Structure 1
Amino acid sequence: MNNKNSDKKEAVFITGATLGLGRLTAKKLINLGHKVIISGRSEKKINDAYNFILADSPQNKGNLYSVVLDLIDLKSVKTAVEKVESLGFDIDVLVNNAGGTRTEFKQTNEGIEDTIFMNAVGPLYLTKLMIPLIEKSQHPNKRILFVGSSIHDPNSKGGGNNQATKISHDVDIETVFEDKEHWNSMKYYKLSKLASIWDAYLVKDKYPHLTTIVFCPGFVPTTDLIRNSSYMVRLTLKYAISKFNFTTSEDDSTDDYIYYITTSGTNLKSGGYYEKRQLSKPSDDALNRVKQQQFWDLAMRSIDQLT
Structure 2
Amino acid sequence: MAIIFITGSTDGLGRAAAQSLVDQGHRVVLHARAADRAADIGEFASRCAGIVVGDLRSAADARSIADQVNAIGRMDTIIHNAGVYTRPDRGATPEGHAETLAINTLAPYMLTALIERPDRLVYLSSGLHRGGEGSLDDLDWTQRDWDSAKAYAESKLHVVALAFGLARRWPKVLSNAVDPGWVRTKMGGSGAPVDLHTGQQTQAWLAVSEEPAALVSGRYWHHLRREEPAREATDPDFQDALIERLGRLTGVPLPQT
- Tell me if both proteins adopt one fold, taking TM over 0.5 as the criterion: yes
Q: Which residue does the alignment assign to 1:301? A: 248
Name which of 74, 85, 95 aligns with 1:90: 74
Name which of 5, 10, 13 aligns with 1:18: 10
CA contact (8 A) 1:18 1:46 kept: yes
Q: Which residue does the alignment assign to 2:200? A: 254
- String of CA shifts for 1:6-39, please: whole Å, max 9, x gaps: xxx1101000001201012112222222111111
Q: Which residue does the alignment assign to 1:106? A: 91
Cα displacement (A) at 1:45: 0.6
Q: Which residue does the alignment assign to 1:137? A: none
Fraction of identical pairs, as percent: 23
Q: Which residue does the alignment assign to 1:42? A: 34
Cα displacement (A) at 1:98: 0.7
- String of CA shifts for 1:48-75, please: whole Å, max 9, x gaps: 1244x36xxxxxx253310012222222
Pair member with larger Rg: 1
Q: Which residue does the alignment assign to 1:32? A: 24
Q: Distance in 2 between matches of 1:282 and 1:260?
A: 17
Q: Distance in 1 between matches of 2:221 and 2:100?
A: 23
2:224 counterpart of 1:292: no
- String of CA shifts for 1:221-250, please: whole Å, max 9, x gaps: x21225xxxxxxxxxx41xx33xxxx2111
Q: Which runs of 5+ in 2 are unaligned?
A: none
One-letter identity of the residue aligned with 2:194: T
CA contact (8 A) 1:116 1:195 kept: no
Q: Which residue does the alignment assign to 2:140? A: 177
Name which of 200, 203, 208 aligns with 2:166: 203
Name which of 86, 104, 129 aligns with 1:119: 104
- SS of the residue 1:153 aligns to: helix
One-letter identity of the residue aligned with 1:146: Y
* Number of aligned positions between the proteins: 251
Q: Distance in 1 between matches of 2:7 and 2:185?
A: 15
Q: Distance in 1 between matches of 2:8 and 2:167?
A: 22
Q: Which runs of 5+ in 1 are unaligned?
A: 1-8, 55-60, 135-141, 155-166, 227-236
Q: Which residue does the alignment assign to 1:224? A: 186
Q: Which residue does the alignment assign to 1:160? A: none
Q: Which residue does the alignment assign to 1:144? A: 121
TM-score relative to the length of structure 1: 0.75
